[in-house]
Amino acid sequence: MGKFVVVAIGGNSLVKDHGRESVQDQYEAVCEIAANIADMVQEGVDVVVTHGNGPQVGFALRRSELAHEAAGMDAVPLVNCVADTQGGIGYQIQQALTNEFIRRNIDKKVATVVTQVEVSGDDPNFRHPTKPVGSFFTLEQAEEMKRENPDWIMAEDAGRGYRRVVPSPQPIDIVEKDVIKSLLESGYVVIAVGGGGIPVVKTERQTYNGIDAVIDKDFATSLLAGQIDAEALIITTGVPQVFIHYGKPNQQALEEITVEETRTFMEEGHFPAGSMLPKIEASLRFLEKPGRRVIITNPEHLGDAIRNKAGTHIVNQGKGGKEQVEAGRHVTGL
């Protein structure tokens, strides 16, 4: 594919199922994903890896609260929980990729960049939080948690259950973007913008202060991909392709589509909020520049996706894009 490719891993994909939420369970999931990313590197692709932290940051925040309640330990602010999970998950991905490269005799080094992402302190999401974190609850469990924690805001998460929600402001700038690009140009596989990045606000003196929030991983990844001038953005999710009429008799898997077709499907309501919609919105932001490509697929199909054999490919019909689309776009019905 040439140039840089940014691959986004969902935080939920690192938690296989309820009851398998330990650090070791997460590392096993990371190792599986690392093998798929190594397939891409073996194809000659220069990769930046980003990841979510929705479940993990919620776990970290709750551990801090329980330790404060039970033992009087100082509570850890949400922004620090984001930093902690960024480092912890980044370490696991870095180690898993390094080990995978050693096993395959691939001469590649891996580096994790602790990444700050600028947001606005006036972002409306601070007043109306929407980012789900932590565990899933039934309605009854959510009501009980709300009674025990009156300051919590609980919301349904894409029909999968109820979760705690926290502020999720829009990303404005990747503070360490030049460092990330420099490492890429030096031949490193880079892990960055973990958990959407550590949210910071800029002061009047042009310095930075942390702020309690969790930035959407897909929006931050899209911004990073644009700022380092990546050729492609790959967003992994729980399904091999994007669907329209999902779950209905006329369900269709999208293989290769244009930006215009994607917008039409979005306006028709095919992509649920809290599920596929943020990924589509992040994709369209990245595709504002002609010649770029977005691929949405599950982790196990990453290798096939870069060879145009898997996933949903969304292409801007600008320079280098229209010919690719007309050569092979189609929709496969299931």
| Structure confidence at residue 156 (pLDDT) | 87
Q: Per residue, what are the HEC states of 132-178?
A: EEEEEECHHHHHHHHHHCCCCCEEECCCCCEEEEECCCCCCEECCHH
Which residue carries 């960055």 as its tokens? 192
pLDDT tops 70 at residue 332: no
| Structure confidence at residue 135 (pLDDT) | 76
| Structure confidence at residue 19 (pLDDT) | 64
| Structure confidence at residue 324 (pLDDT) | 41
Q: CA distances (Å), 311 to each of 181, 257, 304, 319, 322, in order?
A: 26, 11, 8, 22, 19
DSSP string for residues in 245-313:
STTSTT-EEE-EEEHHHHHHHHHTT-S-TTTTHHHHHHHHHHTTSTT-EEEEE-GGGHHHHHTTSSSEE
Residue 259 one-letter amino acid: V
Q: What is the pTM of this model?
A: 0.88
Lowest mean pLDDT among 41-50, 196-205, 302-311: 302-311
| Structure confidence at residue 319 (pLDDT) | 47
| Residue 81 contacts residue 57 (beta carbons within 8 Å) | yes
Nearest CA-CA partner of 98 in 23, 34, 173: 34
Percentage of residues of the chain with pLDDT beyond 90: 67
Q: CA distances (Å), 179 to each of 125, 174, 228, in order?
A: 29, 10, 10
Average pLDDT, the chain: 89
| Structure confidence at residue 255 (pLDDT) | 93
DSSP string for residues in 42-63:
HTT-EEEEEE--HHHHHHHHHH
Q: What is d(CA 195, CA 244) in angstroms, rounded to the nearest whole number?
A: 28
| Structure confidence at residue 43 (pLDDT) | 86
| Structure confidence at residue 322 (pLDDT) | 41
pLDDT tops 90 at residue 258: yes
Mean pLDDT of 80-101: 97
| Structure confidence at residue 235 (pLDDT) | 95
In terms of average pLDDT, the best of 16-25, 41-50, 174-183 is 174-183
Mean pLDDT of 175-198: 97
| Structure confidence at residue 18 (pLDDT) | 62
Lowest mean pLDDT among 19-28, 219-228, 274-283, 317-326: 317-326
In terms of average pLDDT, the best of 53-57, 252-256, 328-332 is 252-256
Q: Which residues are known to be catalytic?
A: 11-12, 131, 217, 279
| Residue 195 contacts residue 51 (beta carbons within 8 Å) | yes
| Structure confidence at residue 103 (pLDDT) | 98
Mean pLDDT of 198-216: 97
pLDDT tops 90 at residue 146: no
pLDDT tops 80 at residue 315: yes
Task: Grade residue 190 by pLDDT with cuts at 50, 70 and 90.
Answer: very high
Nearest CA-CA partner of 163 in 129, 194, 212: 129
| Structure confidence at residue 331 (pLDDT) | 44
